[in-house]
């Protein structure tokens, strides 16, 4: 099964090679118009802002400590005192969901940003330098893409240990290759264009051409890839935490689902609350990413 980001990456990298992409001066206007016409993308943006606000204002939203245990209130059902009930340690589930938004959003944003920067730099090098550099980088990308992503991430986590930092490293490693393929394809299309030839004839350095003239033309598609990478990273973290590979000291949504699976029938709120939080967040980013793709991608306008 492919995610929205996987489908977009494959289609885009194939199309760019045989097509000419011109910079779109009306990108911001297209995005504004998209939010006026695309209700799903607007809903996604609103939900993302609400989730971010909830994460930032967590101490103001709930009066409990996410790690505070109350053994006298173990596995209580939802009530006026505990909106989402309590877990097997008496911890308030609503509080852990609210604070868990911080960890899950961080896991979504940070590895996606790292893989975006790494994939962009390597894609530019592969597409513009060509030959041996291209062959080495693309073969490395093929190796990464050939491994099942979840298995590769689990191997990295088992090797380095369970921590947030190692989670960032694992998710960055499994995600950079798709971005590199897209940037390489677009660089191959753009490096023979007149404005690049003109800069080259004026003696402009290779790196300046790559980052000053080619990279800006890749930014619209990179924005879309970034928004589609974030829910993917959240899902990977949730999957690894569910399988017991995540950091046991963090109140992430995936870890909450993993810890509550043993009480799924007796206390369903333990997995429903974080599970719905993951579902809403992933759907919001997918809605926003699909909307940005429709507004920015020139192939969607033809």
Domain ranges of the chain: 27-75+85-301
CATH numeric code, 27-75+85-301: 1.10.3720.10
pLDDT of residue 252: 79
Which pair of tokens denotes residue 5? 């980001």
Cβ 37 vs Cβ 230: under 8 Å: no
pLDDT of residue 19: 40
Q: Kindly report each contact of residues 253-257 with a partner whose C-beta sits within 8 Å and lies 24 or more positions away, as own/partner.
A: 253/97, 253/100, 253/101, 253/103, 253/104, 253/277, 253/278, 254/104, 254/278, 255/100, 256/87, 256/93, 256/96, 256/97, 256/100
pLDDT in tens, 105-158: 888 899 999 999 999 989 888 888 878 888 899 999 888 888 888 888 888 888
Cβ 128 vs Cβ 214: under 8 Å: yes
Cβ 87 vs Cβ 56: under 8 Å: no
Q: How many CB atoms lie within 10 A of CB 22?
A: 9
Please give the backbone phi and psi of residue 147, each rounded to the nearest 5 degrees, phi first.
-80, 140
Q: How many CB atoms lie within 10 A of CB 64?
A: 18
Which pair of tokens denotes residue 222? 């990179």
pLDDT tens per residue across all 302 residues of the chain: 445 555 555 554 444 434 444 444 466 777 777 788 888 888 999 999 999 999 899 888 888 888 778 777 787 788 888 788 888 787 888 888 898 888 888 888 999 999 999 999 898 888 888 788 888 999 998 888 888 888 888 888 888 877 888 888 888 888 888 888 888 888 888 877 777 777 777 777 777 777 777 888 787 788 888 888 888 888 888 888 777 776 666 777 878 887 787 777 888 888 888 889 989 998 998 888 888 877 776 555 54
């Amino acid at each position: 099964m492919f995610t929205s980001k996987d489908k977009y990456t494959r289609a885009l990298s194939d199309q760019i090679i045989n097509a000419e992409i011109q910079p779109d001066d009306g990108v911001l206007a297209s995005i504004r118009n998209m939010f006026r016409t695309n209700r799903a993308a607007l809903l996604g943006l609103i939900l993302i802002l609400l989730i971010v606000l909830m994460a930032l204002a967590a101490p103001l939203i709930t009066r409990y400590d996410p790690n505070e245990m109350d053994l006298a209130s173990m596995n209580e059902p939802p009530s006026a005192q505990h909106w989402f009930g309590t877990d097997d340690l008496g911890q308030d589930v609503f509080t852990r969901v609210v604070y868990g938004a911080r960890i899950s959003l961080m896991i979504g944003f940070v590895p996606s940003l790292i893989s975006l920067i790494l994939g962009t730099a390597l894609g530019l090098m592969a597409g513009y330098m060509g030959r041996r550099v291209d062959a080495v980088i693309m073969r490395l990308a093929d190796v990464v893409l050939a491994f099942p992503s979840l298995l590769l991430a689990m191997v990295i986590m088992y090797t380095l240990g369970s921590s947030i930092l190692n989670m960032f490293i694992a998710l960055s490693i499994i995600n950079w290759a798709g971005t590199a393929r897209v940037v390489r394809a677009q660089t191959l299309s753009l490096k023979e264009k007149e404005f690049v030839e003109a800069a080259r004839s004026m003696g402009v350095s290779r790196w300046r051409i790559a980052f000053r003239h080619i990279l800006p033309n890749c930014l619209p598609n990179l924005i879309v890839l970034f928004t589609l990478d974030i829910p993917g990273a959240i899902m990977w973290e949730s999957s690894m935490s569910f399988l017991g590979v995540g950091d046991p000291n963090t109140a992430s949504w995936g870890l909450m689902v993993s810890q509550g699976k043993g009480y799924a029938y007796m206390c369903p709120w333990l997995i429903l609350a974080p599970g719905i939080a993951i579902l809403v967040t992933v759907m919001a980013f997918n809605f926003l990413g699909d909307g940005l793709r429709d507004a920015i991608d020139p192939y969607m306008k033809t």
